[in-house]
Amino acid sequence: MGESMTTSNRTKSETIQAIQEQIDEVLLLTQSENNTERKLEEWRISTSRVLHRAFSNASIAREFLLKTDAETFQDVGVSYLKGLIIDINKGLFEKISHSSSSDPDIIDLQSFHVIIRRIMRNFYKHIEEMYQNPVHGRGTIRHENLAKISLGNEYDVQRMLFSLIRPIFPEARVEITDDVGYKSVRYDIYLREYETVIEVKCSRPKMSERELTEQLGSDAFHYREKYVYFFIYDKDKIVGNVDAFCKTYHKSLEIDGKQIETIIMQPVVM
């Protein structure tokens, strides 16, 4: 079973102050003549401990260590910490209070991921039932009207996928822009309460598998959320080996500090 959602152990101002102090410390250290590799590594370790104390689990501290090393952690580490402050100000780590922990309408984290995976893996069943199977003779919906609807690009796929997710998770949002410190990234489908991003891709006739992999690699690096799903509607079948492709873009929360899963849908034509 995965870790629970990450929340702050302190007030918003206390958490921000603790992180800002680490930023100020390393900025002073880099300007000092006492700027040795050992001193910088000590700052890196002490910062991870501050993050470990500030949040409800070790995922933030672990991710900080994974993203930084001896050569890059000054720039990358400071950018990461500044991005954390932005997220804290947005309220992304505030505890979600419920009137009753036994409320049957509350979906826990494990159940959430089961539902999300099932929606995406059965995406074609919705298309078949809604648009391809025969309509009832007494209904007013006509098959010729349904046949006019097609998925031409990723915006169409995003719209259909979101329409399946939102009735179950009304708090889901689309096309949310996030500032990660050195650039802005856009989340196609975002579920803040579950720290989850769904990135939607749709292949094109002139798109290569290499181009798709480059897009996923960039997204996987820049997304800060703990759980990332890549949902690929490969209508042009540009992915040669689906199983190998999905395995390549898979990361474990326990090992990598971020859970990434890839789900590919390819049309089946007899």
Domain boundaries, the chain: 12-89, 109-265
pTM of the model: 0.62
What phi and psi values does residue 30 have, to the nearest 5 degrees? Answer: -70, -20
Q: What are phi and psi of 210, to 5 degrees?
A: -65, -40
Alpha helices (H) in the chain, listed in sequence order: 12-31, 37-54, 59-67, 73-89, 109-121, 123-127, 143-146, 154-165, 209-222, 242-248, 253-256
Fold of the domain spanning 109-265 = Trna Endonuclease; Chain: A, domain 1 (3.40.1350)
Residue with tokens 């100000």: 89
Is 177:185 a contact under the CB 8 Å cutoff?
Answer: yes
Produce one character per residue of 42-52: b if its CB has 16 or more CB atoms within 10 Å, e if not: ebbeebbebbb
Rounded to whole angstroms, the Cα distance separating 222 from 186 reads 10
Q: How far is it, in rounded angstroms, from Cα 31 to Cα 26?
A: 9
pLDDT in tens, the chain (270 residues): 344 577 888 888 889 999 999 998 888 887 877 667 788 888 888 999 999 889 888 888 888 888 887 666 667 888 889 888 888 887 778 765 544 445 667 888 889 999 999 999 999 999 989 988 888 888 898 988 888 888 989 999 999 999 999 999 999 998 887 655 555 678 889 998 898 999 999 999 889 999 998 888 887 777 778 899 999 999 999 999 999 999 888 887 766 778 899 999 998 665
